[in-house]
């Protein structure tokens, strides 16, 4: 029988099936044993000491870090016709091991795809080899800001929603000033893709540019690691730019950076939902084992009808999320007009349904569900974060409604 929530083998290419098997061995042999033996380690308040180097080294040995990197640089070539589907399959499997680790890795995948599409050749020649040579090398995508973070996701092209971070062209450089917050891999990345306003007179879709900024660039300061409730093996960070001078050839997209970043955003929504699904699959696996072993009231838990109904509901939710995820991933790979709407739908649907799956898992474990050493509470914490990753649920719903009813779905509120 196929595993609940996962794409059946019959829908996978031989390459995808082999990649999933490789990833599954990594998760089962390396990741899950580490997580089970180190329940308290994610709560270390030394961000650099949380995840041992060997976890990423093993990911590198299995080829997982090279997804999205062009073949010529030693990466793992993906068929563009099935790229979003492949990303979703692998991200689901890694998140089954640990959501934070999945966050850490998929940022690299998505940014590799973005650089492959936008970076000039000389920058690819410089950074892809450096990335592939160092298993600890991380990349970060700096879009979100402390104020009005979700404005960047709203479908309104108005000056009021422009970036507070600005870049000005001076003396052969772009000088960046501003602040970025809630940045995945932001605390320990070696390379950043930074978005900034370069024209205040137009809406954000025409006035936002993107830049490739190495960590050691003067004027770039990582100011803190955000201590999140879940996904704690990915170090979310805050970055400040003060007269950060970037060479003009490090400009990736001028004016239309948000539009060109579609190669990052749409697969990113697919991957978000896939990671979310992986958490739910792990929660069901652990719960199914528990209710078939634990005796309560003179019989094993699964024989109590109330328990059986909950387990069935968990499985049904996982299959529903998986089906919509596959539908959305196919739309992205086909560049279908409905792809963006479906990406927002699956992001929202997964975040809400998987949180309920994890709530069932906690409750079915009784008092053990709240205990750190059992590990079920971790699924609930990790799932909770997805309600606002890559836009909040409400903002995503605004986008869905706007795509369905473009002429009547409402207008941007505007300044007071």
List the chain pLDDT tens, one digit each, 416 residues: 778 999 999 999 999 999 999 999 999 999 999 999 999 999 999 999 999 999 999 999 999 999 999 999 999 878 889 999 999 999 999 999 999 999 999 999 999 999 999 999 999 999 999 999 999 999 999 999 987 666 666 666 666 777 899 999 998 999 999 999 999 999 999 999 999 999 988 878 888 999 999 999 999 999 999 999 999 999 999 999 999 999 999 999 999 998 888 888 888 899 999 999 999 999 999 999 999 999 988 899 999 999 999 999 999 999 999 999 999 999 999 999 999 999 999 999 999 999 999 999 999 999 999 999 999 999 999 999 999 998 889 889 988 988 898 888 776 666 66
Does residue 2 belong to any structural domain of this protein?
no
Query: Are residues 246 and 154 part of one domain?
Result: yes
Does residue 294 belong to any structural domain of this protein?
yes
Task: Determine the pLDDT at residue 413.
Answer: 63
Task: Determine the pLDDT at residue 266.
Answer: 87
Does residue 4 belong to any structural domain of this protein?
no
- Domain ranges, residue 87: 9-136
Query: Are residues 126 and 37 part of one domain?
Result: yes
Each as own residue / partner, the long-range contacts of residues 34-41 (CB below 8 Å, 24 or more positions apart, any chain) are 35/97, 35/98, 35/375, 35/378, 36/375, 39/372, 39/373, 39/375, 39/378, 40/372
Query: Are residues 193 and 323 part of one domain?
Result: no
Query: Are residues 146 and 123 part of one domain?
Result: no
The pTM of the full predicted model, rounded to 2 decimals, is: 0.95
In this structure, the number of other CB atoms found within 10 A of the CB of residue 9 comes to 13
Question: Among 209, 239, 254, where does a domain finish?
Answer: 254
Query: Are residues 200 and 267 part of one domain?
Result: no
The DSSP code for 10 is G
Query: Are residues 331 and 271 part of one domain?
Result: yes
Query: Are residues 151 and 65 part of one domain?
Result: no
Residue position matching structure tokens 């005796």: 295
Q: Taking the mean position of all CA atoms in its chain, how far away is CA 241?
A: 24
Between CA 347 and CA 352 the distance in angstroms is: 9
> For position 338, which CATH number holds?
1.20.140.10
Query: Are residues 145 and 132 part of one domain?
Result: no
Which secondary-structure segment (H or E) carries 89? helix 83-97
Residues 6+ apart with CB under 8 A from 97: 26, 27, 28, 30, 31, 32, 35, 278, 282
194-241 pLDDT, tens digit per residue, is 999 999 888 788 889 999 999 999 999 999 999 999 999 999 999 999
Between CA 121 and CA 104 the distance in angstroms is: 25
Query: DSSP strand E in 82-153: where?
Result: 139-142
Query: Are residues 393 and 273 part of one domain?
Result: yes
Task: Determine the pLDDT at residue 34.
Answer: 98
Question: Among 100, 115, 136, where does a domain finish?
Answer: 136
> For position 178, which CATH number holds?
2.40.110.10
> For position 109, which CATH number holds?
1.10.540.10
Query: Are residues 329 and 205 part of one domain?
Result: no
Question: Among 204, 224, 254, where does a domain finish?
Answer: 254
Residues 6+ apart with CB under 8 A from 332: 84, 266, 267, 270, 339, 342, 343
- Domain count across the chain: 3
Task: Determine the pLDDT at residue 201.
Answer: 84
Query: Are residues 152 and 128 part of one domain?
Result: no
Does residue 412 belong to any structural domain of this protein?
no
Q: At what angle do helices 99-118 and 262-291 cross, to 10 degrees?
A: 160
């Amino acid at each position: 029988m196929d595993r609940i929530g996962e794409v059946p083998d019959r829908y996978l290419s031989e390459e995808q099936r082999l990649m999933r098997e490789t990833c599954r061995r990594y998760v089962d042999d390396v990741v899950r044993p580490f997580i089970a033996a180190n329940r308290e380690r994610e709560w270390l308040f030394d961000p650099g000491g949380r995840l041992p180097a060997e976890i990423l080294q093993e990911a590198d040995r299995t080829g997982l870090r090279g997804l999205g990197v062009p073949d010529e640089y030693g990466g793992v070539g993906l068929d563009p016709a099935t790229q979003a589907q492949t990303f979703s399959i692998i991200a689901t499997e890694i998140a089954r091991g640990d959501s934070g680790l999945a966050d850490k890795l998929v940022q690299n995948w998505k940014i590799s795809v973005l650089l492959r599409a936008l970076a000039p050749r000389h920058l690819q020649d410089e950074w892809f080899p450096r990335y592939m040579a160092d298993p600890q090398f991380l990349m970060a995508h700096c879009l979100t800001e402390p104020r009005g973070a979700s404005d960047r996701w709203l479908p309104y092209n108005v000056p009021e929603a422009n970036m507070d971070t600005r870049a000005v062209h001076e003396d052969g450089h772009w000088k960046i000033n501003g602040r970025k917050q809630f940045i995945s891999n932001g605390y320990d990345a070696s390379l950043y893709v930074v978005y900034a306003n370069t024209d205040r007179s137009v809406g954000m879709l025409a006035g936002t540019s993107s830049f490739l900024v190495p960590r050691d660039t003067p004027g770039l300061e990582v100011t803190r690691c955000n201590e999140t409730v879940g996904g704690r093996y990915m170090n979310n960070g805050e970055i400040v730019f003060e007269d950060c001078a970037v060479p003009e050839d490090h400009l990736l997209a001028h004016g239309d950076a948000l539009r060109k970043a579609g190669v990052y955003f749409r697969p990113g929504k697919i991957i978000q939902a896939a990671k979310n699904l992986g958490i739910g699959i792990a929660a069901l696996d652990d719960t199914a084992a528990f209710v078939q072993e634990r005796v309560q009231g003179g019989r094993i838990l699964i024989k109590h009808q109330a328990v059986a109904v909950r387990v069935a509901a968990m499985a049904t939710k996982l299959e529903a999320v998986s089906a919509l995820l596959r539908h959305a991933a196919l739309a992205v790979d086909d560049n279908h007009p409905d792809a963006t709407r479906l990406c927002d739908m699956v992001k929202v649907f997964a975040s809400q349904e998987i949180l309920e799956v994890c709530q069932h898992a906690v409750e079915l474990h009784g008092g053990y569900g709240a205990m750190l050493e059992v590990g079920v509470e971790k699924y609930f914490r990790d799932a909770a974060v997805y309600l606002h990753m890559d836009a909040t649920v409400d903002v995503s719903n605004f986008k869905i409604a706007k795509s369905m009813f473009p002429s009547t779905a409402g207008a941007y509120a505007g300044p007071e």
